[in-house]
Structure 1
Amino acid sequence: MRQSPPVFVATSAYGADLVRRLGQAEVLPWIAAAGADGIEIRRELFTDDAPPLAALREAIAAHGLATVYSVPLELWREDGRLADAALRRALREAALLGAGVLKVSLGHYAAGVALDALGAVLADTPVRLLVENDQTVQGGTVAPLAAFFAAAAAAGVAVGMTFDLGNWRWTDSDAGEAARVLGEHVAYVHCKRVLRDGGRLKAVPPEGAMPDWAECFGHFRAGLPRAIEFPLAGEALDALTAVHVARLRRL
């Protein structure tokens, strides 16, 4: 019998203003009531530079949810050096939060750069590192990501990929081709549809996107965790979330 894949909900799906005002713990009941398996906590939505991570960890555990921690961190700085201090801090916060996964961006990685320093940092933590295709040329196009994951595999550095289905639009990249090239490295999938509105790109719910998403999932390992990262807005947010959780399980 096929096991249902885990579905997470990024707190940002409820809107940055609302989540900053309420606090990320306050959306936990909606996510749990929707039947989701986990929550993605966003570092940028904390209003305090020293957030109460231990208390949030306890609240998440009380709702029976797993945790992914997302931090807006580029692994490689513009000077080409690993952002090791920032990465160590993010990993410590992830551990305090009880997150099994930390999600970051690639940054300014250059093909051929040794990954010894990254491997040393990751050797000291139980948290798994995932690198997402972001909305930048340096971290959201196929070539640098493919070079990085190939180098990591060759060096024995255990790093996986967060494949964001919508972010490819910001870099004029083809999501299907990216899935074909990078699919073997994917461990977690961000689900959002992106449309152009008045000259700007914006994330929207997935109506009409499911066939394209299914094509991408055909290049991934079966049963990967996937996350709602598109806007959830309305009166009954737990019920709305439940509709989309069920939809993503069927991918």
Structure 2
Amino acid sequence: MQYILNTWIFVDRVLNGESQVAFLDDANELGADGVEVRYEYFTDRATEATAIRVKAANLGLTINLSVPDEVFVQGQVNQKLDEYFNFAKQLGVTKIKFNLGDFTQYTGDLAHDLLIPAGLTVNIENDQTVISGHSAPILEFLAAAQGAQVPVGYVYDIGNWAVMGEDATETARLLAPYVDYIHLKNMQGAENAVTTDLNVGKLDWHQVLDILPKDIDIAIEFPITETQHIAQQLALVKAYKGDF
């Protein structure tokens, strides 16, 4: 398993014009195994992709890609998927993540319509929308993909379940057979605001990790302003997993 830093951690620096390329140095110095870059944070995709691929190789870091788009749009496979897959190849990505989208209206042949490039792990994540933020359509899609032998996994995002009003531990039990990757954060209050510390909030991330597969990658995914605090959060997760 690997410990990953999602670049949402560095959102303040992104808003100040800093490239995601720089965050690879932070991840390396902090002892993370990789970085999950966000598609929406790129300003010069071609140049930055090359720089990230080269730097990641030099530092021995894994690169994953988060794309804020859907696999299914109005019941059809998203025609932009190939564009995203090609960009993932430029980056040297290991995993790419999408939202599910409108699978409930899809009536096609998954094995024919959803072609996954060799060497790339494709995952879907529970988001905060009605069509793809609840467990039922996600389970339906993952079972259908498995039945069609389409290799798609699932990113378990603990925080989004709170927003959607579903129990995080129950959904962990339901979705555990499909989980390939975990996004950790915590939430508080009726408004489900993201906290700045995993141990502050209403979600029991320890219990969730106990339920989910033990050897899969974990990403920390919430804004953190201080480098020392990122190190502390990473240490919390590593310690619970017995890697400290």
Q: Deviations over 1:98-153 (max 9, x none)?
A: 1111011100111773312444x21x432110101111121111100010011111
> How much has 1:247 moved relative to structure 2?
1.2
Gapped runs of 5+ residues in structure 1? none
> How much has 1:95 moved relative to structure 2?
1.1
Matched residue count: 237
What is the TM-score with the length of structure 2 in the denominator?
Answer: 0.90
- 1:99 alignment partner AA: V
Aligned to 2:111: 116
Counting only pairs closer than 5 Å after superposition, residues 104-183 of structure 1 correspond to structure 2 as 104-110=98-104, 113=107, 114-119=109-114, 121-122=115-116, 124-183=117-176
- 1:231 alignment partner AA: P
1:216 and 2:208 matched: yes
Counting only pairs closer than 5 Å after superposition, residues 37-116 of structure 1 correspond to structure 2 as 37-48=33-44, 50-77=46-73, 79-83=74-78, 85-110=79-104, 113=107, 114-116=109-111
CA contact (8 A) 1:33 1:242 kept: no
Alpha-carbon distance in structure 2 between the residues aligned to 1:211 and 1:86: 35
SS at match of 2:204: helix
CA contact (8 A) 1:91 1:125 kept: no
Alpha-carbon distance in structure 2 between the residues aligned to 1:174 and 1:211: 9
Q: After the TM superposition, which segments of 4 or more aligned residues of structure 1 sit over 3 Å from their partners?
A: 48-51, 111-114, 208-211
Gapped runs of 5+ residues in structure 2? none
What is the TM-score with the length of structure 1 in the denominator?
Answer: 0.88
- 2:96 alignment partner AA: L
SS at match of 1:169: helix
Distance 1:200 1:49, change over 3 A: farther
Distance 1:43 1:229, change over 3 A: same
Distance 1:226 1:210, change over 3 A: farther
Aligned to 2:13: 18
- 2:111 alignment partner AA: D
CA contact (8 A) 2:14 2:20 kept: yes
CA contact (8 A) 2:187 2:203 kept: no
SS at match of 1:52: helix
Counting aligned pairs with the same residue, the percent is 31
- 2:122 alignment partner AA: L
Where relative contact order (Cα < 8 A, 6+ residues apart) is larger, the structure is 1
- 2:216 alignment partner AA: L
> How much has 1:211 moved relative to structure 2?
7.5
RMSD of aligned C-alpha atoms? Answer: 1.9
